[in-house]
Chain A
C-alpha cells in the first residue's frame, strides 16, 4: 500500500527527521490559510499516488499567497494520469546545497533489508544504479542488530561527508530505518534528503510503501485503503476486499485462474497467440465455490470483456468447487459471455462431470484453450 507524500512526511517527523514546514489543503480557502502561516516562497504539490507527477505539472512554485491560491485551485481541479487530485501539500522551499538519496528496501538474495544511499539525489535511483553503479552504496542490515550507528557513519563518509555531519546524517538514516521497521515498510525512502545551505539535513520528499501482508498490524492504514484512498480501480478494490488478486489490463479477454504464475503464463500465452487479456485475476489457493462465483462477477462487470477464459489447475484448489462456482455465477449473474474453461487437477473428474452435465465443455490443454479464447475474442471485429 502506497502512502501519500504528506502521510510519509508526517511519519518521518514523528521519528525526529526534519521535513519542510507545511500543511495539507483540500480547498483553496485552506490553502490560503496555510500559506499565510508559512515563510515564502513555498511549493504546492498535488497529493496523488502515481509516479511522475512533477513532469505532469503537479508541482508548482509560488512567491506569494495569491499565487498559492491560484496554484491550489489549478491542482485541485486537475487529473494526473487519470487520478483526480483531492488535496495539495504546501510547504516552505528549502535552500538546497546538495541533494542526496537514502532509502531502505528488501534484498531478496540476502534475505534481509538493505540500506541504499547515494550522493546523487532527487532523480530516479534505479537510473543512477544502472548508469553509475559506483555512486550507489548498498549496506545489508542484519535483522537481529538493525542499522547501527557505525554503519550509518560509514555510509555518510562514502557519500563524501566528514566531521560532525557524519553523525548528523547518520542519525537520520537510523531514524528512517526504525520508522520503516515499525511501520512494516517494504520501501521507505527520502529522495532527496537535502543538505541545506546552512548545513542542516532535511527530508525534502518522502515515499513509503507499506507491506500489504502486514496491514493487519496497521488498522489505520487498512481503513484508509478500504475507504478508497488509493489508486485502485473499483474492480481492484472489490477483489482486494475479498482476498482475490485482480489487475486491470487493456484487452478484451477476461482471465480467471488459480495461482499467480499460472495466470501470468495464461496472459503470456494469450498474447503469444495474438490476443489481448483484459485483466489478471488469481482466485488463489483453495477457493470455495462462492469465491469463484465472485471472481466471475468481477471480471464480467468489465464491459470490455468479450470472452472469458477460466484456467484452473487444482492443487489446494478443488476442481469440483470451481465447477460449482461457475454454475452458481451462471445462475445468479446470468452469464451470456462465451466461456472457455480448462480444468485439471484435484477432484478433476467430479469437476468435469458437474460442468459437462450442465452442458459446458471443458478443455484439457491450456494452449488449445488460449487459442480458442483468442479466436472468440476476434469474432465480430474489434
Chain B
C-alpha cells in the first residue's frame, strides 16, 4: 500500500558506480528495496554491492524488466539519463541530482507527459513507503509504517517532520519529496489525488516553501474538490527576504509573488491547518485524525 512504490517495485540505479550512487545503493538494498540492476555507461559487466551493472538501460530491460529508476548522475548528464529511462518504458523515475538546468528539466517533463511516466524530482530526497520500498537518500530509521501521507518540496525538512511523527507514534503511508527546483515532475495536487485513493492514508502533511504558486493552486484544489482527508501544512521561509534564492533554485520571492504569507493564507482559507513550527505538525494531526497510534 501507500503510493507509487511498494514491495513489488523493481528498480535500477542510474549512476550506481559513483560515490553517492554506490553508498545509497547499499542503503536501499539494506532497507529491502529490490534493486535489480545498476547502470553506468562504460562500467557494464561490473557489480555494485552484488548488483549487476550495465552500460545502457535498454540492456537492463532485456534482462530484468525494471519498473522504476533512481538517478544519481551529475547535473550535466542527468536529463539524458532520465530520457533514457523514460524511452525504455520505466514509469517511475526518481531524479536525486541537483543543479539540472531549467531548460533540460522542461524537456524531460514534456517527454514524461507524452510517455505517461511519473517523474519525482529533480533535486529530491526521493520517495519511501516505510517497510516496503525506499527509492531515495533519506535516513531510513526515522520512518515507520502508518496512516500519514507526506508530500514535500524540501528534503531535510521532510526528515525533520517525519522523525517527529515517528517519535509520536504517527506512522507514514508514503513520504514523497517533490524536489526543490522550479521545474519538477509530480506536484502537490497529483500527490493529493493519489493519497485520496490510497486506503492506508488517513491524513496528509504538505510541506511547502517560498517561491512559485503551487501551494496556492493546491489550496484552491483542496477547497474546490472538498478534499476528503484531513490536511496539515507547513510552509518554510517566513523570514526570507525578497529577491534572494534560499538554497533551492525554486525558493525565491519575486516581488510580491511566492511569499510564505500568501501560501499560508491560501491554505488557511481552504480550511487547511498550518503549523507555526515544524514541531507543531504532530499535535495538529492528532487533533484532526483518530489514528490508532502503533
Contacts and interface: CB of A to CB of B under 8 A. Distances in A.
B159 A269 contact: no
A282 B209 CA distance: 15
B41 to A, nearest CB: 19
A108 B236 contact: no
B109 A111 contact: yes
B103 A181 contact: yes
B84 to A, nearest CB: 18
B106 interface: yes
Contacts of A316: 20, 24, 96, 125, 137
A213 B100 contact: yes
Interface residues of A, number: 56
A143 B249 contact: no
A314 interface: yes
B50 interface: no
B277 interface: yes
Contacts of B32: none
A263 B246 contact: yes
Contact of B157 (A184, A186, A265): A265
A124 B213 contact: no
Interface of B: 19-20, 24, 75-76, 96, 98-103, 105-107, 109-110, 113, 125, 137-139, 142, 152-160, 163, 180, 182-185, 187, 207, 209-210, 212-214, 217, 234, 236-241, 243-251, 254-257, 260, 276-279
Given A259-B157, A263-B247, A313-B159, A285 B98 contact: yes
A265 B240 contact: no
B240 A367 contact: no
Nearest to B140: A346
Contacts of A264: 154, 157, 209-210, 236-237, 239-240, 246-247, 251
Given A109-B213, A260-B180, A313-B156, 13 more contacts: A181-B103, A213-B102, A216-B75, A249-B239, A259-B157, A261-B152, A263-B247, A265-B236, A269-B277, A270-B239, A285-B98, A313-B163, A314-B139
A211 B100 CA distance: 10
Question: What does DSSP make chain A's interface, helix, strand, loop or mixed?
Answer: mixed
Given A261-B157, A262-B160, A346-B139, A112 B106 contact: yes
A265 B278 contact: yes
A156 B248 CA distance: 35
- 5 closest Cβ pairs, A-B complex: A261-B154, A260-B247, A259-B156, A261-B157, A262-B156
A227 interface: no
A361 to B, nearest CB: 20
Given A264-B209, A267-B240, A212 B255 contact: no
Given A264-B246, A366-B160, A259 B155 contact: yes
B12 to A, nearest CB: 19
B101 A211 contact: yes
A18 interface: no
A212 to B, nearest CB: 7
A280 B182 contact: no
Interface in A335-382: 344-346, 365-367
A143 to B, nearest CB: 5
Contact of A112 (B110, B160, B217): B110
13 contacts: A111-B105, A111-B184, A214-B101, A245-B245, A261-B248, A262-B157, A265-B277, A268-B236, A282-B246, A286-B19, A344-B163, A345-B159, A366-B160
A262 B106 contact: no
Contacts of A268: 236-239, 260, 277
Contact of B183 (A106, A130, A263): A106
A260 B209 contact: yes
A259 B161 CA distance: 14
B108 to A, nearest CB: 9
Interface in A287-338: 313-316
A265 B248 CA distance: 13
Most buried by A among B103, B160, B278: B103
A366 B257 CA distance: 29
Contacts of B238: 268, 271
Contacts of B137: 285, 315-316
Contacts of A280: 240, 244, 246-247
B110 A214 contact: no
A4 B155 CA distance: 34
